[in-house]
């Protein structure tokens, strides 16, 4: 059951990441906007999109124990910080977090602004940990 859920999540997130990359490619070839304006629009959109995908990823596996450390705890801490701390990474006594050992290496107090590569890397680590914990 878990393998099926993880596989479905991988497929959906891969589709969302590809849709974003397709959008970037299309925007780069597009219309009458200057490249500077397109780049600025994408720079504003990218962290909002991928921060929200992280919240959705966390919610999908909310019933799982994600205390301790590792990618499961990192996703939980990031999602909680996005929702409750204005997008600034906040410590949580229930979550052991060491930025040097974290997948994304974001420090406590730092603004969370994920890009496509950040999200993809963290999502892969998170889903691999879900699979390991289910085995």
Cα separation, 56 vs 111, whole angstroms: 19
Q: Using a pLDDT cut of 90, give the percent of the chain over it.
A: 60
User: 99-104 long-range contacts, Cβ below 8 Å, gap at least 24?
Assistant: 101/69, 102/74, 103/71, 103/74, 104/74, 104/78
Domain ranges of the chain: 2-134
**pTM score, two decimals?**
0.86
Q: pLDDT of 51-104, one tens digit each?
A: 999 999 999 988 776 556 799 999 999 999 999 999 999 999 888 899 999 999
């Amino acid at each position: 059951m878990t393998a099926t859920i993880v596989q479905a999540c991988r497929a959906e997130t891969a589709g969302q990441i590809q849709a974003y990359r397709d959008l970037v490619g299309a925007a780069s070839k597009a219309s009458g906007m200057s490249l500077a304006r397109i780049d600025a629009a994408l720079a504003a959109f990218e962290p909002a999109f991928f921060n929200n995908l992280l919240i959705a990823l966390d919610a999908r596996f909310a019933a799982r124990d994600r205390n301790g450390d590792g990618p499961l705890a990192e996703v939980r801490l990031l999602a909680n910080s996005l929702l409750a701390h204005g997008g600034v990474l906040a410590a949580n006594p229930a979550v052991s977090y060491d930025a040097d050992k974290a997948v994304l290496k974001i420090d406590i107090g730092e603004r969370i602004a994920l890009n496509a590569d950040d999200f993809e890397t963290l999502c892969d680590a998170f889903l691999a940990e879900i699979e390991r914990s289910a085995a």
